[in-house]
Amino acid sequence: MFAAARDVTEARQAFEAARSMIESSLDSLVAISPQGLITDVNEALVKATGIPRQELIGTPSLTASPNRRRPRRSTSWSSPRGWPSTTR
């Protein structure tokens, strides 16, 4: 009985340590199930996308992309403000 309780305590401590490292990361991190569903995200991803964590969890990973929620900005190879390009 005591060995099982110790195993559960050690597993819980390991989970909390891993969770702390994930949350403290400045990089956006996402956990995806083998079925392709988002199972968890860190706060950096929530801030980067503006989508609440609970809204992301359980969604297919591709449909949760912020590019699907907002119109894409067009990238242009022209000069800023429409100025003509000059080649030297």
Domains parsed from the chain with CATH numbers: 2-68 (3.30.450.20)
pLDDT above 50 for 31: yes
pLDDT above 80 for 29: yes
Rounded Cα–Cα distance for residues 43 and 28 (Å): 8
pLDDT above 70 for 85: no
Confirm whether pTM is higher than 0.85.
no
Q: Which amino acid would we find at residue 78?
A: S
Torsion of CA 13, 17, 23, 29, to 10 degrees: -100
